C-alpha cells in the first residue's frame, strides 16, 4: 500500500510540474494531496488524513481553481527573455538537492534506528482535542485570529473600492 | 533490514524519501515555472512535504499527538497564506494583465 500511495503522490507532483495547462496542473495537485492523505492513513493518523482532504483537496484547491478560471489565463505566457542561466541553475540546484536527499536517507543511521519502532495506536480526534485544549490553547486562539486577519487582508487587497 | 528494503516496505526511510522528493519537485516548480499560480502550487507542495515528514517522525517516535496538533496549526497558516497570496495574484492580473512572475518587475527598474 505504501508504494501505491507514494507513487500516486510523486507522479501527481511530477505531472503538475510538467503540465502546461494550469487547470490540469491544479487537478494533478488534487491527486497529489489525495496521495499524501493516503500516506497519512498508513502513518496511523486518520485525523490528519481527513484534515488533509477537507482543507487541501477541498478548500485550498477550490480557491486556486476559482482564481485560475477567474483570471482566464490557462496557458503559460511566452517568455520575455531567455534567462538561461537562471533556468539551468534552478534545474541543477533541484537535481543536486534530490540526489543529496536520496543519498542522505539511504546512509542515515538515525532513521534506521527510529524505523524499528512498533506501530502505535492510531491518533483519534479525542486525543487531538485533549492535546490542543490542554497544552496549545493560546496557539489555537492565535491561529483563529490569524485566519480572521488573513480573511480581512485578502478582501481588502482584492477589492477595488472598499 | 537494508535501507532499500525499508523504503519498499514502508519504513520511516520511505516516508522521508517521499517527503524530500516532493519538496524537490515543489522547489523545481517554483524555480522553473514562470506562471505565478504554478509557483503558488509549488509552494503548497513544499508545505505538504514538510507536513509529511513531521507526521512520519511523529508516528515513528511512538505516535505523538503533538505532531498532529502542530499539523493543524500549520494548515491554518497555509490557508492564510493561500488567501492572501491569491488575492495578490488577482490584483497583479488586474494591474498588468498577466500572471507571469517575470513581468512583475516594477521594483527592479
Q: Show which of A39, A74, A109 is a domain's final residue.
A: A74
According to the model, what pLDDT value does residue B93 have? 87
Q: Is the pLDDT of residue B1 over 70?
A: no
| Interface subset of A 113-132, CB within 8 angstroms of B | 114-115, 117, 120-123, 127-128, 130-132
Q: Is the pLDDT of residue A32 over 90?
A: yes
pLDDT grade for A19, boundaries at 50, 70 and 90: confident
Chain B CA closest to residue A138 = B73
* Partner residue facing A120 (CB), from B28, B63, B72: B63
For residue A84, being part of any structural domain is answered with no
For residue A80, being part of any structural domain is answered with no
ipTM metric: 0.89
Q: Is the pLDDT of residue A56 over 80?
A: yes
* Partner residue facing B103 (CB), from A45, A80, A101: A80
For residue A93, being part of any structural domain is answered with no
Same domain, residue pair A133 and A70: no
For residue A4, being part of any structural domain is answered with yes
| Interface subset of B 53-92, CB within 8 angstroms of A | 55-63, 65-66, 68-69, 71-73, 75-84, 86-91
Contacts of B83 (CB under 8 A, 6+ apart): A63, A150, A151, A153, A154
User: Domain range for residue A133?
Assistant: 124-162
Chain A CA closest to residue B71 = A48
* Partner residue facing A9 (CB), from B16, B18, B28: B18
Measured at the CA of B100, the angle between CA B96 and CA B105, to 5 degrees, comes to 65
Q: How far apart are CA A46 and CA A26, in angstroms?
A: 24
Q: How far apart are CA A78 and CA A97, in angstroms?
A: 28
Give mean pLDDT, residues A125-148.
92
Q: How far off is chain B from A23, nearest CA to CA, in Å?
A: 10
For residue A104, being part of any structural domain is answered with no
Q: A131 is written with which cell numbers?
A: 492535546
According to the model, what pLDDT value does residue A114 have? 79
pLDDT grade for B20, boundaries at 50, 70 and 90: very high
Give mean pLDDT, residues A45-73.
88
Query: pLDDT tens digits for B60-77?
Result: 887 788 889 999 999 999
Q: How far apart are CA B89 and CA B91, in angstroms?
A: 5
Q: In chain A, how many domains are there?
A: 2
Q: Report all structural domains of chain B as residue ranges with CATH numbers, in order of start.
A: 3-108 (1.10.287.3510)
**Residue A75, exposed/middle/buried by CB under 10 A (0-12, 13-18, 19+)?**
exposed
Q: For cell 491569491, what's the residue?
A: B86
- Mean of per-residue pLDDT scores for chain A: 88
Q: Which residue(s) pair with B35 in the sheet?
A: B100
Q: Is the pLDDT of residue A148 over 90?
A: yes
Same domain, residue pair A69 and A134: no
> DSSP H helical segments within chain A, as ranges?
2-18, 22-42, 46-51, 61-71, 84-107, 109-114, 125-135, 137-158
Residue A152 in contact with partner chain B when CB distance is under 8 A: no
Amino acid at each position: 500500500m505504501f508504494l501505491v500511495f507514494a507513487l500516486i503522490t510523486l507522479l501527481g507532483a511530477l505531472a503538475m510540474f510538467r503540465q502546461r495547462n494550469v487547470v490540469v496542473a491544479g487537478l494533478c495537485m488534487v491527486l497529489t494531496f489525495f496521495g499524501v492523505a493516503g500516506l497519512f492513513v498508513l502513518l496511523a493518523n486518520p485525523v490528519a488524513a481527513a484534515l488533509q482532504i477537507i482543507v487541501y483537496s477541498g478548500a485550498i484547491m477550490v480557491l486556486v481553481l476559482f482564481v485560475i478560471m477567474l483570471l482566464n489565463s490557462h496557458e503559460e505566457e511566452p517568455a520575455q527573455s531567455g534567462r538561461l542561466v537562471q533556468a539551468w541553475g534552478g534545474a541543477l540546484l533541484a537535481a543536486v538537492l534530490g540526489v543529496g536527499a536520496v543519498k542522505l536517507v539511504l546512509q542515515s543511521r538515525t532513521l534506521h534506528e527510529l524505523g524499528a519502532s512498533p506501530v502505535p495506536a492510531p491518533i483519534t480526534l479525542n486525543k487531538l482535542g485533549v492535546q490542543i485544549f490542554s497544552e496549545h490553547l493560546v496557539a489555537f486562539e492565535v491561529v483563529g485570529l490569524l485566519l480572521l486577519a488573513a480573511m480581512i487582508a485578502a478582501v481588502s487587497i482584492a477589492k477595488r473600492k472598499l | 533490514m537494508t535501507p532499500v528494503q525499508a523504503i519498499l516496505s514502508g519504513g520511516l526511510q520511505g516516508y522521508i524519501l517521499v517527503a524530500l522528493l516532493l519538496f524537490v519537485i515543489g522547489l523545481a516548480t517554483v524555480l522553473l515555472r514562470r506562471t505565478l499560480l504554478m509557483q503558488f502550487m509549488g509552494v503548497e507542495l513544499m508545505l505538504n512535504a514538510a507536513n509529511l515528514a513531521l507526521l512520519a517522525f511523529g508516528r515513528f517516535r511512538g505516535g505523538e499527538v503533538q505532531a498532529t496538533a502542530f499539523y493543524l496549526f500549520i494548515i491554518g497558516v497555509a490557508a492564510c497564506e493561500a488567501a492572501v497570496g491569491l488575492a495578490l495574484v488577482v490584483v497583479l492580473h488586474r494591474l498588468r494583465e498577466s500572471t507571469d512572475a517575470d513581468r512583475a518587475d516594477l521594483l527592479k527598474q
